[in-house]
């Protein structure tokens, strides 16, 4: 066996279809496009979603749901995620990004009350739940919102 004798297996290589190369090729005249019609013209053809004039699927199905343009998508951090920080640490969005708890610097962050917090932390954040605010304050920490709004914490009567 020599390098110049190596050939692909029989039937593995197919000849290219050479269209519009005369009647001898078997693909002359209309070049396998048929006679007239939209698909025979250059630049012609229908998009993949075209159903031959039948009412298209996306128009047959009813419209459902509602997309609120003013929805604010928060990145969520729970109390058990904050337990890794030492007591007295000042926590803001930058610190959470460095810790890998939050990914995007542009989206607001909200603290939720899952888990327990033993150390007092200084938290400056975009939003938080009442239970999270209560747990942070009970642990001896402080919480302030970036918007300047006051954090609503349940009163003593409501807590019980």
Q: Tell me the domains of the chain and their CATH numbers.
A: 75-152 (3.100.10.10)
Cα separation, 131 vs 117, in Å, equals: 11
The pLDDT tens digits for 120-135 are 899 999 999 999 999 9
Bridge partners (DSSP) of residue 145 are: 125
Q: What is the pLDDT of residue 88?
A: 87
Choice between 82 and 154, residue whose per-residue pLDDT is larger = 82
- Is the full-model pTM beyond 0.85? no
Three-state SS at 152: coil
End-to-end CA distance of the chain: 91
């Amino acid at each position: 066996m020599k390098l110049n004798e190596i050939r692909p297996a029989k039937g593995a290589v197919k000849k290219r279809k050479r269209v519009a190369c005369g009647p001898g090729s078997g693909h002359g005249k209309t070049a396998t496009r048929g006679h007239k019609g939209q698909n025979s013209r250059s630049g012609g053809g229908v998009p993949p979603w075209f159903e031959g004039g039948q009412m298209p699927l996306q128009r047959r199905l009813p419209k459902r749901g509602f997309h609120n343009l003013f929805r604010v998508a928060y990145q969520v951090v729970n109390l058990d995620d904050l337990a890794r920080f030492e007591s007295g640490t000042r926590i803001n969005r930058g610190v959470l990004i460095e810790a890998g708890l939050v990914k995007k610097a542009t989206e607001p962050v909200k603290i939720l009350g899952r888990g327990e917090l033993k150390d007092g932390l200084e938290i400056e954040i975009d939003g938080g739940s009442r239970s999270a605010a209560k747990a942070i304050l009970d642990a001896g920490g402080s919480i302030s919102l970036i918007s300047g709004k006051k954090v609503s914490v349940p009163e003593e009567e409501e807590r019980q």
